[in-house]
């Protein structure tokens, strides 16, 4: 590839990235909204600090393995439910779940 072609391809890549951001598809989850969703729907079981209110619950300050999965994987678990956790599909919007998951990631490494 000569310089001109490389320059043109870079331009197209930047343009594409700009369109993706402007379309809303690439907007980051909102941690502040996520806190509200979490406090209303999740804290009753997971605790205000993510340590878990009942024995046998995951402690998200220690076990990061689950929350470090890609958004889509954690989203699916919360949508479908798991073990003692109810399915949130239909109860919460997709965006609300993703925001709550982003907030839960702030538990990682807390003492």
Residues of this chain that bind ligand HEC (CB under 6 A) = 41-42, 44-46, 57-58, 66, 74, 77-78, 82-86, 88, 92, 100-101
Q: At its nearest, how many Å lie between ligand HEC and the CB of residue 81?
A: 8
**Nearest residue to 109 via CA among 47, 62, 52:** 62
Q: How far is the CB of 41 from ligand HEC (least distance, A)?
A: 4
Backbone φ and ψ for 89, nearest 5 degrees, come out as: -65, 130
User: What angle in degrees, to the nearest 10, is found between the helix axes of 94-104 and 71-80?
Assistant: 110
Rounded to a whole number of angstroms, the minimum distance from the CB of residue 60 to ligand HEC is 8
């Amino acid at each position: 590839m000569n310089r001109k072609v490389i320059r043109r391809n870079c331009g197209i890549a930047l343009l594409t990235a700009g369109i993706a951001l402007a379309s809303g598809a690439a907007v980051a989850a909102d941690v502040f909204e996520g806190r509200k969703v979490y406090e209303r729907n999740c804290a009753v079981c997971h605790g205000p600090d993510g340590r878990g209110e009942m024995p046998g619950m995951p402690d998200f300050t220690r076990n990061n393995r689950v929350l470090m999965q890609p958004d889509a994987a954690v989203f699916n678990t919360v949508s479908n439910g798991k073990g003692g956790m109810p399915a949130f599909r239909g109860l919460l919007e997709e965006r609300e779940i993703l925001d709550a998951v982003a907030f839960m990631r702030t538990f990682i490494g807390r003492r």
